[in-house]
Each structure stands twice: as structure tokens, then as C-alpha cells.
Amino acid sequence: MNNTINVVCCGYRSWAINIINEIEKNSRINIVHIFNSKNDYDSKIENINSKIDIIIFLGWSWIIPKEITNKYLCVGIHPSNLPNYRGGSPIQHQIINGVIKTKISLFTISEKVDGGDIWLKNDVNLSGQNIESIFKNIENSSISLLNNFFNLYPNISPIKQDLTKGSYFKRRTPEHSRLELDVFNNKSLEEIYNTIRCLTDPYPNAFIEDEYGNKLLFKEVQFVPFTKESD
């Protein structure tokens, strides 16, 4: 009996490529093809081997047509404890709302955005002074989750989401990175820190703008909590 799982991976961000490189070491899977651009995906996805077991989408920004999701088991990783924070910019929305300890969710991709059945979840910490360090946390958690999934598959069943619960957020736009001056009076320093740190590169940076249209961008930020030693 052949227990090898034939997998196609789709991911173009650096952290997604790192995940693919790590899970490729799992002896249970055979990565048939890696799509690291939308153009490559669009031109070749219809011609991939029909014996594919799973297609994994990691940080993929485009809608997967039902012709693909109906033909293959398509799964993705969403960096939230689904059904909480479905939709766009889940990392930013959680951090801005003060969420630090959360989960990543492996789910079946369906017509409902982030609404498919849940296969597995894994803990992830959203601490870190910039997005790069947060991505690393997500990357490590995703590698562990996917290896666990492959070791269990096909002797694992997904659980249906209750979409009457949880929350849904729209994708943030560059204009949402604007900090109004009154935020410095109405928000705590830690709240401002959270907003700025989740908007470091490669995302549109937090900024303030004067009446002339000049912008001050916040590329990095550090929060130093008060201690008696620092008094």
C-alpha cells in the first residue's frame, strides 16, 4: 500500500516558501509542483496531475475558482482562531485589537471566505517588534501544524465551522495606516505600539500627515515598559 500523499503547494511570500521547503522534508508527502506566482498558477493549474491528493495555499491572495476546489481537496492556513477574524488582514486586526496569543487554522478552501471545515489548529504568538518576527512565529507554527496533518492524513476528519459565531473583517487598505494626531492622546502607548509594529514592511507603514501632505512613516518601533529600574 502506498501511503505517499501527492501535494501541490501554492505560495509566493518568503515565509510561505520557507514553510514549503520544510514540509518537503516530510517522508509522507511528495510535492508534485510548487506555484510561486499567479501567472505560473494560471497557466498550469488546469494541467496538473489528476492524482493529486491535496493542494495547499499559503498566504495566497487570490480567489480559488470552484472548478479547482470541487476537483481537489484544497486547504489553506489562516492566521487566526477561526471562525474569529475571518476575512482580510487577520494579523493586523488581531494585533490592533490587543490579541497576542491566538491560533493558526488549517481549513478547507470553499466558496465562503475562510468558512470551510477546520482540520487542525495550532498555537501561535503574535508578539514581536515587527512583521518579520511575527511571520517567523507563524512560519514555525505552520510547519508544525502541517507535519502533524500529513502524519494523520487520511485518518483525520475536519470539523464544520459555526459561521454564526466569530467575526469577519475587511482587508485593510494603505489609507487605514494613517494615524490621526488625536490617537496619541486617546490611546495608550502600548496600543499605539501594537498598531505601528503590525504595519512594518512589507505592509503599508503607519504614518502621520501634516496639512501640507508631508508624511512621517514609522518603519520600526520599540515599546519599553516602565520598571522601577527605569524610573
Let me know if domain 174-230 sits in CATH 3.10.25: yes
Output the pTM of the full model.
0.91
Q: How far apart are CA 173 and CA 129, in angstroms?
A: 21
**The dihedral of CA 141, 194, 11, 154: what is its sign?**
positive
What are the E-state strand segments in 69-194?
73-78, 86-87, 101-108, 118-125, 168-169
C-alpha cell at position 111: 466558496
Residue 1 confidence (pLDDT): 42
Q: Give the pLDDT score at 2.
A: 58
Nearest by Cα to 29 from 47, 49, 13, 9: 9
pLDDT, position 179: 96
d(CA 197, CA 221): 6
Q: Which of 67, 42, 171, 152 is nearest to 106 (CA)?
A: 152
Q: Which three cell numbers stand for residue 141?
A: 507554527
Of all helices (H) and strands (E), which one includes residue 44?
helix 38-44
pLDDT attached to residue 81: 98
**Domain boundaries of the chain, sorted by first residue:** 5-168, 174-230
Give the pLDDT of the chain (231 residues) as one tens digit per residue.
458 999 999 999 999 999 999 999 999 999 999 999 999 998 888 888 768 999 999 999 888 989 899 999 999 999 999 999 999 999 999 999 999 999 999 999 998 899 999 999 999 999 999 999 999 999 999 999 999 999 999 999 999 999 999 999 999 999 999 999 899 999 999 999 999 999 999 999 999 999 999 999 999 999 999 887 655
Fold of the domain spanning 5-168? Rossmann fold (3.40.50)
